[in-house]
Amino acid sequence: MRRIGLLVLTVLIISTIFITWKQKNSETEELATDTQTILELSQPYLQEGYSFDAKWIYEGAGYVSLPAFQAFFDELNQKLNFQSSGKIDYSNGLPVLRGSSQLAEGAQLQSMLVGSKDQQSSLWILTIIAAPPMTMELIVQAQLLLTAKLADMGFIGAWNTMVQGTLTDLGTGNNPEAFIYNIVDQIQGNQQEVYQDGQTVSVSIYSKKMQAAVQSGNHKVNLQMALHQNSVTKAWRFTIGSPLITIEY
């Protein structure tokens, strides 16, 4: 009976390890697919360069004191090879610590830890900022390696991945709405929300081709796109993000 119990326990442990590995592997594959998709959708239209901005957000526990808050950030910096001033700044009364690291030529990793006023919670935000000459392949690889490293450290957060750049041409008819909906058709998306004024067109969609999704009101959204025209230069800036756009467009 004891041997049977040990056998069952061993099977349960192995099953748990396999399920955990499968979940982590699935999350990594989803991230790679979504990042690759928005890069492939945007690149044909951004011939004069682009900026890649991916934000990873982790909601953490509280802290007993500011020295403990700083010690935690210092530990994170050491594990991820960040450079930090070690100085606590304040934004709207909240303690903030910042760090940065160079990923590769054309790419930087920024870290920010924000504490709550009541010390009951914290928010850790990592941002990958990349631009040419860093290639699409290297961007995806850097994001995946960082995600795996964070998971090994016990941190499972959520990504918002965005690409932005200035368009040289809106295409036939110089029509911003037609430009946006052409990409919606490419991704086989269902329009959930739309906003439009004289200088901006933005749309939120849900597509089965994208993996991650968030709830927005009564709808699920996993891709947002926006076109904004500069009032002076008249140039159009295109922004695409998954599952949401969290930068100014």
Judge if 147 and 196 occupy the same domain.
no
Length of the chain, in residues: 249
Q: Work out the average pLDDT over 58-73.
A: 93
Owning domain of residue 236: 167-242
What tens digit of pLDDT does each residue of 159-195 get? 999 999 998 778 767 789 999 999 999 999 999 999 9
Question: How large is the average pLDDT for residues 8-19?
Answer: 32
pLDDT-based confidence at 104, cuts 50/70/90? confident
Which residue among 107, 135, 163 closes a domain?
A: 163
The CATH number for 104's domain is: 3.30.2030.10
Residue type, 23: Q
Angle of CA points 219, 222, 226, to nearest 5° = 100
Is residue 141 domain-resident?
A: yes
Positive or negative: CA dihedral 57, 61, 63, 68: negative
Same domain as 175, residue 110: no
Domain edge (last residue) among 163, 191, 211: 163
Residues 182 and 157 in one domain: no
Q: Is residue 42 included in any domain, yes or no? A: no
Considering the domain architecture, whether residues 133 and 80 belong to the same structural domain is answered as yes
Which of 163, 186, 214 is the C-terminal boundary of a domain?
163
List pLDDT tens digits, range 110-159: 999 999 999 999 999 999 999 888 888 888 888 999 999 999 999 999 99
C-alpha span between 144 and 154 (Å, rounded):
15
Residues 159 and 213 in one domain: no
163 is written with which tokens?
A: 């690409």
Going by pLDDT thresholds of 50, 70 and 90, the confidence category of residue 243 is very high
Would you say residue 140 lies in a domain?
yes
Specify the number of domains making up the chain.
Answer: 2
Strand pairing class (94-104; 89-91)? antiparallel
Q: What is the pTM of this model?
A: 0.81
* Residue 153 located in a structural domain: yes
Which residues have a Cβ under 8 Å from the Cβ of 59 and sit 6 or more positions away?
121, 122, 123, 157
